């Protein structure tokens, strides 16, 4: 979606933070975002229907293999893995790694100690026997093909809703920022009222601008309203 269209929508929500804050809960709702999207011809996503591919049933794994951290291969028998684990414990003082600094180069390796956590731990994994795998391979390939085709189509469909997602994020950020600004304006309004209590109106405004340095939009709102409207009460500006 082009930035101009988003800005037009945001301007339509409002420009005065206090007014936006009063209806913030509605502006942040999915109902509001959806209504704005429909009004501006932006495709909306489905709420209730979740599409998913249908896969062929895959046989369960029929074997368990065992592995010891630090050793590349697996063991069919747990007892064999435990023997390696015991041997690694005996050789722990002699186990090391070699590494190098990229700034020096691969040809100048040096010895590096290996923390115990990096080797010696017993792990297990569920896998297929070769026989079951060969019987299952065609199903796995078919399921993968279905998954890839579905994800490709899903990606194309989701692109259709990029404008909606962008609109949703823009509105939520805009309203949240307005609420924060309204809080800041409340603080400035309360401060200005205190300036007015101590100084003459003309001097109060000049001093307030000089010391507090409020943003220009706040001053525009203050002068346009001629009253300080906040949760702290109203104060007339003469």
Residue with tokens 């579905």: 150
**In this predicted model, what pLDDT tens digit does every residue of 182-232 receive, in sequence order?**
988 888 888 888 898 899 877 888 898 889 888 888 888 887 765 544 444
pLDDT winner (highest mean) among 45-54, 76-85, 111-120: 76-85
**Other CB atoms within 10 A of residue 84 CB:** 18
Diameter of the chain measured on Cα atoms:
95
Contacts of 179 (CB under 8 A, 6+ apart): 17, 20, 21, 24
Per-residue pLDDT at 229: 43
Confidence of residue 133 (pLDDT cuts 50, 70, 90): very high
Per-domain residue ranges for the chain? 3-45+168-225, 63-127
The pLDDT mean for the chain works out to 86
Contacts of 16 (CB under 8 A, 6+ apart): 221
pTM > 0.85: no
Cα separation, 237 vs 214, in Å, equals 16
Per-residue pLDDT at 48: 65
Around 182, how many Cα atoms within 13 Å sit in the side-chain half-sphere?
21
Confidence of residue 238 (pLDDT cuts 50, 70, 90): very low
Contacts of 80 (CB under 8 A, 6+ apart): 66
Confidence of residue 62 (pLDDT cuts 50, 70, 90): very high
């Amino acid at each position: 979606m082009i930035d101009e269209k988003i800005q037009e929508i945001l301007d339509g929500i409002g420009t005065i933070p206090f007014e936006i804050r009063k209806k913030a809960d509605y502006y942040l709702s999915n109902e509001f975002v959806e209504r704005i999207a429909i009004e501006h011809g932006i495709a909306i996503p489905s709420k209730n229907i979740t599409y998913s591919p249908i896969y062929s049933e895959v046989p369960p794994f029929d074997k368990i293999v065992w592995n010891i951290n630090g050793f590349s291969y697996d063991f069919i028998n747990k007892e064999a893995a435990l023997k390696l684990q015991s041997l690694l414990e005996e050789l722990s003082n002699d186990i090391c790694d070699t590494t190098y600094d990229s700034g020096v180069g691969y040809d100048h390796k040096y010895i590096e100690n290996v923390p115990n956590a990096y080797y010696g731990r017993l792990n297990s994994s569920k896998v297929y026997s070769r026989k079951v795998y060969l019987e299952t391979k065609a199903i796995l390939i078919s399921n993968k093909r279905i998954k890839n085709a579905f994800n490709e189509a899903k990606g194309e469909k989701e692109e259709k809703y990029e404008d909606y997602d962008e609109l949703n994020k823009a509105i939520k950020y805009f309203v949240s920022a307005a609420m924060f600004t309204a809080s800041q304006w409340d603080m400035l309004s309360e401060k200005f009222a205190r300036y007015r209590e101590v100084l003459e109106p003309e001097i109060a405004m000049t001093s307030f601008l000089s010391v507090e340095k409020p943003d220009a939009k706040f001053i525009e709102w203050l002068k346009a309203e001629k009253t300080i409207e906040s949760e702290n009460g109203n104060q007339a500006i003469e």
